[in-house]
Structure 1
Amino acid sequence: MSDCGCEQADQLEKQTLIALLTINGVMFVVELIFGIIAQSTGLLADSLDMLADALVYGLSLYAVGQGLRRQAGAARVSGYLQLILGLGVLLEVVRRWVYGSEPQSLLMISVALGALVANVVCLAMVAKHRHGGVHMRASWIFSANDVIANIGVMLSGVLVAVLGSRLPDLLIGSLIAALVMWGGGKILREAHTATQSA
């Protein structure tokens, strides 16, 4: 590819990542606020997932146009961030299990639906870059995981309403944490492979 073509591809990646960073940053704040109001572990977990993704997109933005080692380094940091935030969510699940919570199902479903729309937009935007560098593959994985997490929060909201129990919310919070940590591990493996081949 010519230098002009590379510069154009880098610019497209940057524009995409800036949009993804903005959307995830806004949704982190929205889900955090409503997660606290709704006493929902699922929404809080998803908000922290949004924060992790925003940080990942910021690191990926830094890596655009850089060499393979720097891209892998950015992806590695992203993977560790995912693992740390996933562990934080698990600790919050345990805290709510011990001290109790009363999740509000309608609020959970409504906010998760809004987050799902935002994440589908993100997924569509990053789809054309998912075969690019490891930093962009990381962005694709995180966006895909977000869609799954949003559907899970909506389902848990329905189950909270039907069963009159907080257990579905705690369960989905745990599953989102596991999904975040799995994504972090996958990115660390890809970053390691990319570094070995550099």
Structure 2
Amino acid sequence: MHDHAHGIRQGDNRRLLAVSLAITGVVLVVQVAGAILTGSLALLADAAHMLTDAAALVIALVASAVAARPADDRRTYGYQRAEVLGALVNAVVLIALSVGIVVEAVSRLLAPEPAPVAGGWMLAVAVVGLLANMLAAWLLRHAQKHSMNVRGAYLEVIGDMIGSAAVIVAAIVILLTGWTRVDAIASLLIAVFIVPRAIGLLREVFSVLSESAPAGTAVADIRTHLLRTPGVRDVHDVHVWQLTRGAPVFTAHVVVEQEVLERGSGALLTRMQGCLAEHFDVAHSTFQLEAAGHEEREHH
């Protein structure tokens, strides 16, 4: 018996992603123009990160639309894994971007003459970027808890917020002291901030693709809860994985007393599925009921 509820509101996610994409696109144009005008590498790095934000949001929108397609005879779980692939692309792009920023920043730091930077314009553009990213992060804050793909976009927006803050600090230092090498240092800080989050997203993607149990899910605790159900004698062949963030799947063989099978198993299945949904947030569960003694024959 299966329960197909997964609680992910793809339509709401797409609307939030579309609004965030519009905000990001406008600020991207402003930051690129500002980077050219001021000569700031930190601002250009922030603009490049904003470009990956826009790309991530486009990928997230496409993946979200694909994931909303219903299951069919070939893809019986539907297309929710498309979100995971979108998150994988996001993480790879973030790492590549960070490498490029580091190379250029080191080149500027080693240059004999520091490049001129217009601190005033740099500060103004960075403030606009910070405010826009704060708005986008606020829009995505709830949806990212239930969608790995939205979370990838959310992490990029958060990273860009920190990047904008670093640019603001660098611009203030330039205005007060005239030390323009701080611009390259701010670029390095942006890259250092990006990499751990990209690696964390990659780990989550690989965890899903390798069908590991979701983080924080204790299989032993689930088994203990099920064993407390009246009529259940044993639980074995337990498997827990997730299709994407917020969509865990559970299967198990459950050995029950003969009287349970004779009376009907509907009430028992309902009780066990309710237990998983209430205590472990597992909405999709499958149980194979077996009479006592059947598991020995099965293992043999």
Question: When the two structures are superposed, what TM-score results if normalisation uses the length of structure 1?
Answer: 0.90
Q: Hey, what does 1:84 align to over in structure 2?
A: 96
Higher-helix-fraction structure: 1
What is the count of residue pairs matched by the alignment? 195
What is the DSSP-based 3-state SS (H/G/I as helix, E as strand, rest coil) of the residue aligned with 1:103? Answer: coil
**Matched position secondary structure for 1:71:** helix
What residue is the counterpart of 1:171 in the other structure? 185
Partner of 2:247: none
**Identity percentage over the alignment?**
24
Name the SS of the counterpart of 2:154 in structure 1: helix
- State how 1:1-198 maps to structure 2 within 5 Å: 9-64=9-64, 66=67, 67-97=79-109, 98=111, 100-197=114-211, 198=243
1:176 positional shift = 0.8
Give 1:82 shift.
Answer: 0.7
Secondary structure of the structure 1 residue equivalent to 2:48:
helix
| Partner AA of 2:132 in structure 1 | A
Higher relative strand content: 2
1:95 Cα deviation from its structure 2 partner: 3.6
SS in 2 for 1:121: helix
Q: Give yes or no for contact 2:114–2:181 (8 Å, CA) kept in 1.
A: no
| More displaced stretch, 56-65 vs 46-55 | 56-65
* Separation of aligned partners in 2, 1:95 and 1:25: 29
Change (3 A) 1:36 1:96: farther
Structure 1: gaps (5+ residues): none
CA distance in 1, matches of 2:197, 2:32: 21
Question: 2:103 is aligned with what amino acid?
Answer: L
Aligned to 2:271: none
8 Å Cα contact 2:64/2:82 also seen in 1: no
Q: Distance in 2 between matches of 1:2 and 1:121?
A: 34
Q: For residues 17 and 32 of structure 1, what CA distance do their matches in structure 2 show?
A: 22
Query: Any conservation in 1 of the 2:32–2:47 contact (CA below 8 Å)?
Result: yes
Structure 2 CA distance, aligned partners of 1:189 and 1:137? 13
Structure 1 stretch displaced more, 40-49 or 68-77: 68-77
Higher mean alpha-carbon deviation, 121-130 vs 17-26, is at: 17-26
Q: 8 Å contact 1:113–1:154 — kept in the other structure? A: yes
- 1:69 shift after superposition: 2.4
Once residues 26 and 114 of structure 2 are traced to their aligned partners in structure 1, the CA distance between those partners, rounded to angstroms, is: 28
One-letter identity of the residue aligned with 1:169: D
Assess if the C-alpha contact under 8 Å between 2:98 and 2:194 holds in 1: yes
Using the TM superposition, give the Cα deviation of residue 94 of structure 1 relative to its aligned residue in structure 2, in angstroms.
3.0
Q: Give, as a single letter, the amino acid of the residue that structure 1 aligns with 2:45.
A: A
Task: Give ranges in structure 2 of 5+ residues lacking alignment.
Answer: 68-78, 212-242, 244-300
Query: Highest CA radius of gyration, 1 or 2?
Result: 2
Give deviations 1:149-175, integer Å, cap 9, x for gaps. Answer: 111111111111222111211110111
TM-score (norm: length of structure 2) = 0.61
- Deviation at residue 54 of structure 1 after TM alignment: 0.7
C-alpha separation between the residues in 1 aligned to 2:21 and 2:126? 18
